[in-house]
Structure 1
Amino acid sequence: MQVRPGIAYDCDVLVVGGGIVGLSTAFAITRIAPGTRVTVLEKEPGPARHQTGRNSGVIHSGIYYRPGSLKARYAVRGAAEMVKFCAEYGIAHAVTGKLIVATEKDELPRLHALVQRGRENGIPVRELSGPQIAEYEPEVRGLAAIHVGTTGICDFVGVARQLAEASGAEIRYGARVERIDRRPELGVAVRTTSGDVVRGRVLVNCAGLYCDEVAWLTGDDPEMRIVPFRGEYYELARPDLVRGLVYPVPDPAFPFLGVHLTRGIDGGVHIGPNAVPALAREGYDWGVVRPREVARTLAWPGAWRMAGRHWRYGAGELARSVSKGAFTTAVRRLLPAVTADDLVPTAAGVRAQAVLRDGGLVDDFLIKEGARAVHVLNAPSPAATASLPIGREVAGRALAMLGSV
């Protein structure tokens, strides 16, 4: 399989990955440069089957993220754009606001730091004393809290479907990438497992859980590896206990927000996720084990260094994974009325966490470029919230590259 001189291109931009970031990129390209031919290859039979479709459905405000970071800028901008997009296309959504609740004294300085960060990021925040929490959530207990008014919820799978339709791109489902032949002077040819070959001038890698492997297939070293973390959820059998969205104060040393309570657009309340190492990139329960993927993770020095740095945190997460009682205890810090019988297991998700060789967890969105290729290498939460501005950023890079070849 080769890109050969004189062979017609099937498209101008070839996007690998039909999650919300890949589809936002396709949408942005056709909006910015009408007439640009875009093809999206997605290995599943439909869009948004993994990270996009297996999260809390929260439109994040951007309060957690370092001012000036891509996450902060894109989440704040993206939250407003996502609400507007949902309203324009009739996609289920609501701006609910949320509480971030401190239940221990040592969390109070971190809660205050979030207030300051929110203000730096231009996010409206109301500080609450313990008794004032009941104004929003009568069953929730804490020493203090903040209310973030711009947080919301939506149907991200519906958003992804609409982006696919509105982009005008050719979407090929069931198209798993097997091999990539890149010739900087000519273009990129991708062969799928079905034997089809698709040729494009520029490739955009939005492969999520497999973005590092796709980068390697192009010949680029991503200088990171995806380490999958499973997030396990329960559904609340008594949804009347929770009115909206309730979060703990996060641990700033780890890029997860902790077990939280989320009333979704369907009226149900999800509780979770925790964060445990998955034994496959699509390891949605402990029974899914792919030895080759586990071996690749263990062969990456950063995985061991990360484990050595965060083992105490990880031990707690594992305990909550194997023990419903431990999970219930964690929830009761926020919601004392809950019992183990109130927690009904539901679908889990897997986060594609980029880990550096030194064991550092990539904290911001990470986008890199190679010859005729743009790689989105770290786009976990809040990527769904920020998908429209992320799509424009990636589209701009792809189109600039297209204009130079």
Structure 2
Amino acid sequence: MSRVVVVGAGIVGLAIAARLAGRGDEVTVVDKEPDVALHQTGRNSGVIHSGLYYAPGSLKATMSAAGARSMTAYARSRGIPVQTCGKLVVATDERELPGLLRLAQRAEANGVDARLVTPAEARELEPHVRSVGALRVESTGIVDYPGVCRALVKDVEAGGGSVRLGESVLAIRTTGSRVHVRTDQADLEADAVIACAGLHADRLARASGIEPAARILPFRGEYFELAPDAAGLVRGLVYPVPDPRFPFLGVHLTRMIDGTVHAGPNAVLALAREGYTWSTVRVHDVRDALGWPGLWRLARGNVVPGAAEVLRSMSTRAFARSLARLVPAITARDLRPAPAGVRAQAVRRDGTLVDDFLVQTGPRQVHVLNAPSPAATASLEIARHLVGRLDALLD
């Protein structure tokens, strides 16, 4: 039995802690927030991803496909609302058809149950969609991720572990066979640490004696909710064909587990690591981002799509026009503001995005430095993988 401190009470940290506690390790979870899942986990679209978009053989591809199955099974076993509703990826212009075909080929390479459908077949699935072709993905689902996190906390505690909320980790140091975790309330000692610090992952790694391979840049994703009288325009999940010039998926429509329909997210650089609005500004965070050469190199390569994202952020009408490409009946009058999220995106010095999950290790330490979508989907599989890496470190 090992004593392990897990930093971070998002879904990845809690999945790791639950797995460790379930096999008999002594586990302590520490998080600075007063509750679990308050950042990326609790502010995403609730989608269980199929593994459609990711490079074949990548951790994202293999863990997303397996994670869709394990997350669905876990939610059902705990009585958490979950549905496998499928989604439709819609080409609205002939120029998008080659991209749609590439997605279909990637789906086949990744073992994802997907099929190309005609515009008429797309309308049978989503009567209000406009398309020149579409891809139907059967294994995509929706789930209550905060509910999953609450269940994982129960699993941790049932295994004898504890979850310490409202406590910030300041530094981690390894001395021989012990790891010392200094928080703003206590000094903890353990055999090992697994850090899942999300938006602050690179900073915590540096405070632990590990130089991160990339810098976290916060990208805010803003959402709207369709008004009740417009929610019937969408039955399930409707996505655009991703713009190959831009690293994000584009605004899409998601019928949530509670029956509401969310629209978004866009992707704009936030002015704080936890900058959920334009008015939230942290000078230290802005200076940190602007001082990273990778930000400027990323910006130079994405001027046009980046400007479109900012326009969507500033204008509800522009946001609605993007949605109307998918469902023409949607107008700005149908949109109601909904809580935004912030994606912790790792960016290398050369301006390239870290496209896969990124983990760095040190003496008795494992740091998750990049775990964007589909990390929630794959969280149980990530936990299995990282516990294995921890065991290898301690052997």
TM-score (norm 2): 0.97
Structure 2 CA distance for aligned equivalents of residues 223 and 133 of structure 1:
43
Aligned-residue offset at 1:105:
1.4
Aligned-residue offset at 1:251:
2.0
Which of residues 171, 179, 192 in structure 2 aligns to 1:188? 179
Q: Return the letter of the residue paired with 1:50.
A: H
Q: Return the letter of the residue paired with 1:308.
A: R
Which of residues 256, 260, 268 in structure 2 aligns to 1:268? 260
Which of residues 9, 24, 40 in structure 2 aligns to 1:51? 40
Q: Return the letter of the residue paired with 2:194.
A: V
Aligned-residue offset at 1:180:
2.4
Paired residue secondary structure (1:13)? strand
Aligned-residue offset at 1:310:
1.2
Higher deviation after alignment, 393-402 or 369-378: 393-402
Aligned-residue offset at 1:65:
0.7
1:132 equivalent in structure 2? 121
Paired residue secondary structure (2:301)? helix
Say whether 1:213 aligns with 2:203: yes
Aligned-residue offset at 1:400:
2.5
2:323 equivalent in structure 1? 331
Structure 1 CA distance for aligned equivalents of residues 247 and 388 of structure 2:
28
Q: Superposed, which structure 2 residues align to 1:188-337 within 5 Å? A: 188-194=179-185, 196-237=186-227, 238-337=230-329
2:5 equivalent in structure 1? 14
Q: Return the letter of the residue paired with 2:348.
A: L
Structure 2 CA distance for aligned equivalents of residues 371 and 151 of structure 1:
38
Structure 2 CA distance for aligned equivalents of residues 292 and 44 of structure 1:
20
1:111-143 deviations in whole A, cap 9, x for unaligned?
A: 001111111111111211112211111011011
1:104 equivalent in structure 2? 93
Paired residue secondary structure (2:53)? coil
Paired residue secondary structure (2:191)? strand
Structure 2 CA distance for aligned equivalents of residues 254 and 171 of structure 1:
38
Aligned-residue offset at 1:252:
3.1
Structure 1 CA distance for aligned equivalents of residues 63 and 24 of structure 2:
27
Structure 2 CA distance for aligned equivalents of residues 36 and 328 of structure 1:
50
Aligned-residue offset at 1:388:
0.5
Structure 2 CA distance for aligned equivalents of residues 352 and 276 of structure 1:
12
Structure 2 CA distance for aligned equivalents of residues 91 and 252 of structure 1:
35
Aligned-residue offset at 1:399:
2.4
1:171 equivalent in structure 2? 163
Residues 283 and 289, structure 1, Cα contact 8 Å, conserved in 2: yes
Structure 2 CA distance for aligned equivalents of residues 305 and 12 of structure 1:
42
Aligned-residue offset at 1:368:
1.4
Work out the percentage of aligned pairs sharing the same amino acid.
Answer: 54
Aligned-residue offset at 1:50:
0.3
Structure 1 CA distance for aligned equivalents of residues 49 and 388 of structure 2:
24
Structure 2 CA distance for aligned equivalents of residues 225 and 182 of structure 1:
23
Q: Return the letter of the residue paired with 1:153.
A: I
Paired residue secondary structure (1:218)? coil
Residues 226 and 353, structure 1, Cα contact 8 Å, conserved in 2: yes
Paired residue secondary structure (2:243)? coil
Paired residue secondary structure (2:36)? coil
Unaligned runs of 5+ residues in structure 1 are 1-8
Aligned-residue offset at 1:243:
0.4
Aligned-residue offset at 1:182:
2.6
Q: Which portions of structure 1, spanning 4 or more consecutive aligned residues, are displaced by more than 6 angstroms?
A: none
Which of residues 88, 104, 113 in structure 1 aligns to 2:77? 88
Say whether 1:343 aligns with 2:332: no
Q: Return the letter of the residue paired with 2:317.
A: G
Q: Superposed, which structure 2 residues align to 1:27-66 within 5 Å? A: 27-31=18-22, 34-66=23-55
Residues 198 and 344, structure 2, Cα contact 8 Å, conserved in 1: yes
Q: Return the letter of the residue paired with 2:264.
A: G
Structure 1 CA distance for aligned equivalents of residues 62 and 172 of structure 2:
33
Q: Superposed, which structure 2 residues align to 1:155-170 within 5 Å? A: 155-167=144-156, 168=159, 169-170=161-162
Residues 232 and 347, structure 1, Cα contact 8 Å, conserved in 2: yes
Structure 1 CA distance for aligned equivalents of residues 63 and 245 of structure 2:
22
Residues 13 and 398, structure 1, Cα contact 8 Å, conserved in 2: no
Aligned-residue offset at 1:256:
1.2
Residues 29 and 392, structure 1, Cα contact 8 Å, conserved in 2: no
Residues 52 and 157, structure 1, Cα contact 8 Å, conserved in 2: yes
Higher deviation after alignment, 120-129 or 211-220: 120-129
Paired residue secondary structure (2:56)? coil
Q: Return the letter of the residue paired with 1:207.
A: A
Structure 1 CA distance for aligned equivalents of residues 128 and 54 of structure 2:
28
Paired residue secondary structure (1:81)? helix
Residues 54 and 61, structure 2, Cα contact 8 Å, conserved in 1: yes
Structure 2 CA distance for aligned equivalents of residues 138 and 308 of structure 1:
39
- Over the aligned positions, Cα root-mean-square deviation in angstroms equals 1.2
Paired residue secondary structure (1:386)? helix
1:267-297 deviations in whole A, cap 9, x for unaligned?
A: 0000000000000011000010000011011
Count matched residues.
390
Q: Return the letter of the residue paired with 1:267.
A: G
Say whether 1:356 aligns with 2:348: yes
Residues 170 and 204, structure 2, Cα contact 8 Å, conserved in 1: no
Aligned-residue offset at 1:231:
0.1
